[in-house]
Structure 1
């Protein structure tokens, strides 16, 4: 049997239940064989992502735990650094930070998304605080008295567009990217990460790569409803969270214009989009697609992003975790 490097699979888990319930859910995810959990950092829910992660750290033994994702507008880098170190004290070596310009959190706070130059400065500041215990930020010297042990405390940039991918390559410890699973689309995105890394004199191979993998269980009619539907009024699902989704589909040979409307997507096009974009279908079909991605892309870490609309944003992915535990995880283990 051919042996493959272990594929780590994490899952998005929103703050849609009380913190004790979220901790219990994390325990079930760990028992199902998942490797990690990313929690959206949505203040407007009335639940703090880092407190949820702390509760999860105490309820589990090995899960990687991180915000997915924190914005750099409503959280100061010194605050995020202190939160990361605190999480590391509860689950040593398990937490990391993922940061981005912001989407729902900044929208709900009435703030604009962060500019790229600000994101760059924050990432460099966070890495300095994690590595050295100090960094200069906006003309002020910041200090962090306690920090994770050597090797912990990674700072990862979530990116979907080419300029953010280049920024991740330039300044971050890793990149978390939503670019689909088609080899041509992924290679086009990786090229931008390499450009950023080489611009900064860095080795792109040293960056951790996490592919965000949309995940929808169901029969053909059920899963086609995603590319043929809306995330929320005025925003087709195909343009959530970013219109950059369509760039990588085009790089994969699927010509979808930026102004695509759900009614423009017939069943044949929907099927092509779903195959290029993520895991869709029965649990068995999703397992096959993930194994194919490992073979075609050398995929080492996936972040499952359960398909949802605005109305279901905060539903826990119970069915997806069950499918992973019963079918997908065992299939991955068999093929290792």
Structure 2
């Protein structure tokens, strides 16, 4: 079964979040995802509010940029959310956009090394372990959480390149792929993630979350193409979808067939009716997906 989610785009002001959360809860949306993009909105603050405003909604943050964050602080925030809202939190970490990291003086010489060290420490702390480690970037001296979650939660990681994708298989509990990935890209990513898992001797499920840029309505094609063109991705076959519920559901099915466990529909930044987009997903697209 494919889980469907929707992104709350941080191009919307923070005060719009409550209405989106209420719309998602009322419509029965499974997951609402947030971004911690520079320099828009905080992922953790927004997630905390969204979880408090909803009754059953699962809230994901995909992703928290690790160069911007001390691993102890990220893990404390994660543990707090998991204890306050059990089974409703999905957190992902990643390299962050390197230009943004450079703007704040946090750009790492080796993003892959930093992400590995962050994942290892974060997963150990969330599992209730006491951690001492002195890596290239992560330094902890006899650190343990006083209030770890009741059971170790999954930590997702976002990735694009082959080394990073293998790393998510080795060191994360799930992988997040952004909207620049086609169905063929999902298949290749799955292969690389599985290679990483095999090399680390890891077994069990490893969920893959994929964003899908989607637009609906009378000007859907124009809005989709404008956004892809602005990102330098116009003309890539299989990237993004514009149209009615059947067209979007077909694109979701292609990603699911390629290996996506969750497809998060990403409206264009200029979506005129974000709450209506949620209802379009739950009432129109969801009944047509497996």
Unaligned runs of 5+ in 2: none
Determine the structure 1 residue equivalent to 2:247: 285
Determine the structure 2 residue equivalent to 1:30: 25
In structure 2, relative to structure 1, the CA distance for the partners of 1:327 and 1:83 (3 Å cut) is: same
Equivalent pair of 1:14/1:39 in contact (CA under 8 Å): yes
Determine the structure 2 residue equivalent to 1:251: none
Determine the structure 2 residue equivalent to 1:195: 195
Deviation per residue, 1:135-164 (Å, 9 max, x gap): 23335232111111215x211110111111
Determine the structure 1 residue equivalent to 2:45: 51
SS state at 2:29 partner: coil
In angstroms, what is the RMSD of aligned CA positions?
Answer: 2.6
Equivalent pair of 1:101/1:116 in contact (CA under 8 Å): yes
Equivalent pair of 2:81/2:89 in contact (CA under 8 Å): yes
Please report how far the alpha carbon of residue 101 of structure 1 lies from its aligned counterpart in structure 2 after TM superposition: 0.7
Equivalent pair of 1:133/1:145 in contact (CA under 8 Å): no
In structure 2, relative to structure 1, the CA distance for the partners of 1:316 and 1:36 (3 Å cut) is: farther
Unaligned runs of 5+ in 1: 239-261, 263-269
In structure 2, relative to structure 1, the CA distance for the partners of 1:48 and 1:185 (3 Å cut) is: closer
- How many matched pairs? 280
**Structure 2 residue 258 is matched with structure 1 residue 301:** no
Determine the structure 2 residue equivalent to 1:94: 88
SS state at 1:191 partner: helix
CA distance in 2 between partners of 1:290 and 1:102 (Å): 26
Match for 1:41 among 13, 36, 43? Answer: 36
In structure 2, relative to structure 1, the CA distance for the partners of 1:115 and 1:28 (3 Å cut) is: same
SS state at 1:38 partner: strand
Determine the structure 1 residue equivalent to 2:278: 321
SS state at 2:28 partner: coil
Determine the structure 2 residue equivalent to 1:161: 161
Determine the structure 1 residue equivalent to 2:142: 141
Please give the TM-score of this superposition, normalised by the length of structure 2: 0.85
Please report how far the alpha carbon of residue 171 of structure 1 lies from its aligned counterpart in structure 2 after TM superposition: 0.5
CA distance in 2 between partners of 1:292 and 1:74 (Å): 35
SS state at 2:195 partner: helix
Equivalent pair of 2:223/2:268 in contact (CA under 8 Å): no
